[in-house]
Structure formats: C-alpha cells, structure tokens
C-alpha cells in the first residue's frame, strides 16, 4: 500500500467485481438501444475503460473535460472545457468516478438535455451520499463511501494518485500540511 494511504476502501478485486456487475446490468438494460457513453475526464478513465469490457451491446463513446475541485474541496463552480459531444436524440450514459455534492453531474446532465439528448442515465463508481447538496440519484452505483477523501483508480488529489490500482482514504497529513 502507498505510504500516503490510511486504509483501502475498495480493493483491486472488489473493483473488478463492481465493473463486471455494472457492465452486465447496463448491457441488459440498454439492449437494442445503442447508448452513447460519455466519460468525465480525467477521473473516469480507468473505470470507463474497464466497464466497457463488460458492455456487450452496440454503443459509442465520448469524453468531456469537467472540473469543480480545488484540492479536497468542491468549489461549487463547475467548469466544462471544450465542445459538448453531439448527443441529439441519443440515450446517454454519463460516467464519473464519484458523486459527492452532485453539482458536477447535475450541471452536465442539464447541458446534455439542452443539447438534445433523449435520456441521460448516470453511472458512478462511487457515491458519497452524505456530501449531496443537489437532488440527484444515479441509476448505477458501484459502491458507497463515507464522507472521507479517497484517491486511486482515477480519483486524484491535485492530480496525484490516479494510477493506484485500488481506492484508498488519503492520510489527512498529506493535505493538511
């Protein structure tokens, strides 16, 4: 385990089971619908690529670059970088690493509906329900985590730790220096 990690929240093995379960459910629920997967960069990268290995229906994928965090705090202001993908008439499955306040996915969901998406379904690897400030419920959730700052498997602290193969709680002394 990395020295900056206090404890492992979701092990590599648990992540494998989660992505398999979610990919299989999505394939069943979206059979015949040709959904468009949109991943929110950069946190979605390991999760989305592993998830799609278990999606066995016709689908396409796009990415959007979105940010709202400064260190371990949500700034409350969601920034979308670049063009919105063409979603006109599409059934979109929005992929993110973690749902916390809900502001990011809520803003992106609204944007996609404004751009003509037929439906927007949310799929997150992790949910931190205690952090919620906007009313948003994901259709697919890998696992629940308490209100602690976690990193790894795409999740970062100031861009670091995304490459850890597991998800762990960051030691407070790392960000409270």
Q: Give the footprint of Mg ion on this chain (CB under 5 A).
A: 43
Q: Considering beta carbons, is residue 89 or 156 the nearer one to ligand IMP? A: 156
Binding partner of residue 150 among ligand IMP, Mg ion, none, CB cut-off 5 to 8 Å per kind: ligand IMP
Q: Could you confirm whether 50 is annotated as catalytic? A: no
Minimal CB distance to Mg ion: which residue? 43
Residue 104 and residue 36 in contact, taking contact as beta carbons nearer than 8 Å: no
Q: One of 50, 97, 100, 127 is an active-site residue; which one?
A: 100
Cα distance between residue 57 and residue 107, in whole Å:
28
How far apart are CB 26 and Mg ion at their closest, in Å?
A: 20
* Cα radius of gyration rounded to whole Å, the chain: 16
Residue 104 and residue 78 in contact, taking contact as beta carbons nearer than 8 Å: yes
Binding partner of residue 50 among ligand IMP, Mg ion, none, CB cut-off 5 to 8 Å per kind: none
Q: Considering beta carbons, is residue 30 or 47 the nearer one to ligand IMP? A: 47
Interaction site with ligand IMP (CB under 6 A): 40, 43, 68-69, 74, 96-104, 149-151, 155
Backbone torsions φ then ψ of 150, nearest 5 degrees: -115, 155
How far apart are CB 20 and ligand IMP at their closest, in Å?
A: 22
How far apart are CB 128 and ligand IMP at their closest, in Å?
A: 6
Query: DSSP characters for 24-78?
Result: HHHHHHTTTS--EEEEEETTTHHHHHHHHTT--S--EEEEEEEEEEETTEEEEEE
Binding partner of residue 101 among ligand IMP, Mg ion, none, CB cut-off 5 to 8 Å per kind: ligand IMP
Q: Considering beta carbons, is residue 5 or 48 the nearer one to Mg ion? A: 48
Residue 127 and residue 97 in contact, taking contact as beta carbons nearer than 8 Å: no
Cα distance between residue 76 and residue 98, in whole Å:
15
Catalytic residue numbers? 100
């Amino acid at each position: 385990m990395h020295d900056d990690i206090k404890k492992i929240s979701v092990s590599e093995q648990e992540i494998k089971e989660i992505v398999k379960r979610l990919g299989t459910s999505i394939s069943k629920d979206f059979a015949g619908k040709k959904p468009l997967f949109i991943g929110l960069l950069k946190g979605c990268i390991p999760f989305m690529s592993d998830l799609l290995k278990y999606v066995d229906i016709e689908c396409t994928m796009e990415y959007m670059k979105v940010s709202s965090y400064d260190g371990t705090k949500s700034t409350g202001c969601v920034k979308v970088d670049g063009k919105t993908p063409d979603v006109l008439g599409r059934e979109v499955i929005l992929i993110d690493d973690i749902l916390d306040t809900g502001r990011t996915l809520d803003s992106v969901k609204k944007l996609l509906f404004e751009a003509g998406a037929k439906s927007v379904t949310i799929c997150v690897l992790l949910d931190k329900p205690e952090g919620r400030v906007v009313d948003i419920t994901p259709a697919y959730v890998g696992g629940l985590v308490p209100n602690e700052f976690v990193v790894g498997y795409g999740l970062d602290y100031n861009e670091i730790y995304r490459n850890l193969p597991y998800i762990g709680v960051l030691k407070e002394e790392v960000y409270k220096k």
